[in-house]
Structure formats: structure tokens, C-alpha cells
């Protein structure tokens, strides 16, 4: 075969389909006012267009808003004030207008009056017995109220208790001076600070030393300081009485006593008896003895002895 007569040919190739990405979602259209322009967005593009009602440059006293946007401006009238008629003009028709007349309140406590030169406010103070008043109550001439003590009107006082001291007669030349006489030496008494008048003024520990200096035992009481010496700690108890510690039978009870004479225990030793009596024969060594009738109670204690 003659291959020189062959030519290259192209075979068609089928490509797989290419997945197209979805277009991004568009924003919602909007329209806002920007000065004298309106900014509009239709979902794809923005546009800036002049507003229909354009506001000229200037100064305005009235502004109208609609939905947050200025939609109108204007000028307000200049405010004016008309005072209410409070004074009479006193016109007599002659063409001349005298000064206005100000009415004065007729209240009894009103201090303001109409004087020759106009309104005048005065504070009237009348002096009393033994009291003088000067001045008119102004800043430059204030009121001065003084009392002059008259002779014979002095106040006198006397002490009703020796610790109280009274000097003077109550007059202006010798005024009363009331005080206290010193009664004790000032110092620290068991932690209490006392002044010369016997008044407690505070508390202060006496150098850390014990308040109780010593304890002395009396009859039947024993007091002994505990170690360390000077610590201020004492033990107090009953002293020994010389009695031997023992148990005694009293009737049908056993009673225990210690060396200090204290009962430490009481117990029943014998069951209750039947109260009664018995006869004790006469003592031959006693002339005329005829015997005794001895009575006892339920505790076995003798309650009576009678001659027979």
C-alpha cells in the first residue's frame, strides 16, 4: 500500500458538560434621599438623580421632615410679646401722660408703702422695757437690739451641795460662775480614770497589773495564790475543820463527811422501821431509878425518853 497518499483526519470528541455556577442573588432595590438628590438602586446598578423639590441654600426657621428626609423649609413669623396692662395710665384727657400708678397691697402685714419719692419698704421695730433698738435694717445700717441690765434685776444663786461652787451675784459686774470643788486626787483607780472632781473620764488598764491585789481567807475559808506569783490568780475554798473523813450512821442512813465538814454522800442503810417504843430497865447504880420508856420514829431516831 502506498502510504504517501494518506492524510490525517480529525475525529470528533464529545466533552462532558460543564456545570455553570448560579448567578448571585440580587439585593432588594431601594431609594434614599441624599441632600438635593435621590440615590436609587434597582437591584443591579445605582443611580443619582436630582430631587423633584430642591431646597435652595439659606437659613430657615421652619423645616419639614417626611420619613426622615427634609421635604420643605420656610420662615416662621418673628415672635412678639404684648405685656398685660398692669398699671393705670392716669390720663386726664389733656394730652399729657403722667407716670403710672403702682397699686400697693392693703394687707396688714405688707411692709411696702408709697412714699413721696416712690415705693418704700420699712421694717418697724419698737423698743420695749429695758430693750433699745437702733438702725433701720439695711446693710449699711443694720438693726442693733441691746438689753440694758437694770440694777436690782440681777439673778443670785447659792450652792445647795458642797461639791458645787457658786461665785458672783449674777450682775453684769459680777456674773455667776458655777463650778465644782476638787474632791479627790486625780488618777487611775482600778482602770477608771478619775479627775479632781471625782468624775470618771475614761478607762485605762493599770499597766497590765491585776485589779485584785490580794485575797485573805477568813474563818473556815482558805485563799491561796496560784503560780506564777503576782499573776493575780487565787484559789478560794473551804479550810479543813479537823474532822476525820468518815461515814456515820444516823438513824437508818449512812452519812459521809469530808475533812472540811461537807456532806459528800447520804445513803439508806436500813429499811424504814415501824415507829414505837421500848422499855429500858432501871440502872441499879442509880438510886430510885425505875426504868425508862424510850420512843423512836420510822428512821430509828429516838424522839423521847420518859421515866416509868
Does this model's pTM top 0.75? My answer is no
Q: Rounded mean pLDDT of the chain? A: 77
- At 103-143, the pLDDT tens digits run 888 888 788 888 888 888 877 777 777 788 888 777 778 88
What mean pLDDT comes out for the span 240-262?
80
- Note the pLDDT of residue 96: 55
Question: According to the per-residue pLDDT averaged within each range, which of 128-132, 145-149, 301-305 is highest?
Answer: 301-305
pLDDT at 308: 81
pLDDT tens digit string along 6-65? 565 666 666 777 666 655 656 788 888 888 888 888 888 888 888 887 888 888 888 888
DSSP string, the chain: --GGG----PPP-PPPPPPPPPPPPPPPPEEEEETTEEEEE-SS-EEEEE-SSPPPSS--SEEEEETTEEEEEE-PPPP-------SB----SSS--PPPBPP----TT--EEEETTEEEE-------TTEEEES-SSSSS--EEEEPPPTT-------SSTTEEEES-SSSSS--EEEE---S--EEETTEEE-TTS-EEEE--STT--S-------TTEEEEEPSSTTS--EEEEEPP-SPPPEEEEETTEEEEE-TTS-EEEEEE-SPPPPPEEEEEPPPTTSTT---EEEEE-TTS-EEEEEE-
Amino acid at each position: 500500500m502506498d502510504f504517501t497518499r494518506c492524510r490525517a483526519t480529525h475525529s470528533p470528541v464529545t466533552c462532558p458538560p460543564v456545570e455553570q455556577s448560579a448567578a448571585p442573588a440580587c439585593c432588594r432595590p431601594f431609594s434614599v434621599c441624599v441632600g438635593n438628590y435621590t440615590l436609587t438602586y434597582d437591584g443591579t446598578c445605582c443611580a443619582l438623580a436630582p430631587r423633584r423639590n430642591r431646597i435652595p441654600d439659606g437659613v430657615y426657621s421652619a423645616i419639614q421632615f417626611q420619613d426622615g428626609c427634609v421635604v420643605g423649609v420656610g420662615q416662621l413669623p418673628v415672635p412678639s410679646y404684648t405685656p398685660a396692662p398692669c398699671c393705670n395710665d392716669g390720663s386726664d384727657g389733656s394730652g399729657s401722660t403722667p407716670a403710672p400708678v403702682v397699686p400697693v397691697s392693703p394687707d396688714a402685714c405688707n411692709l411696702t408703702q408709697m412714699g413721696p419719692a416712690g415705693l418704700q419698704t420699712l421694717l418697724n421695730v419698737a423698743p420695749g422695757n429695758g430693750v433699745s433698738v437702733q438702725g433701720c435694717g439695711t446693710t449699711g445700717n443694720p438693726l442693733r437690739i441691746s438689753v440694758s441690765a437694770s440694777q436690782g434685776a440681777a439673778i443670785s444663786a447659792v450652792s445647795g451641795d458642797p461639791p458645787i461652787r457658786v461665785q458672783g451675784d449674777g450682775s453684769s459686774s459680777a456674773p455667776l460662775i458655777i463650778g465644782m470643788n476638787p474632791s479627790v486626787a486625780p488618777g487611775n483607780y482600778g482602770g477608771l480614770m478619775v479627775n479632781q472632781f471625782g468624775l470618771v473620764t475614761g478607762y485605762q488598764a493599770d499597766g497590765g497589773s491585776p485589779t485584785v491585789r490580794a485575797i485573805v481567807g477568813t474563818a473556815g475559808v482558805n485563799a491561796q495564790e496560784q503560780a506564777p506569783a503576782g499573776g493575780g490568780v487565787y484559789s478560794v475554798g473551804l479550810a479543813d475543820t479537823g474532822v476525820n473523813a468518815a461515814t456515820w450512821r444516823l438513824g437508818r442512813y449512812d452519812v459521809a463527811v469530808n475533812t472540811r465538814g461537807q456532806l459528800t454522800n447520804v445513803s439508806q442503810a436500813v429499811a424504814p422501821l415501824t415507829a414505837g417504843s421500848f422499855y429500858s430497865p432501871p440502872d441499879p447504880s442509880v438510886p430510885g431509878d425505875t426504868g425508862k420508856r424510850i420512843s423512836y420514829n420510822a428512821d430509828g431516831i429516838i424522839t423521847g425518853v420518859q421515866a416509868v
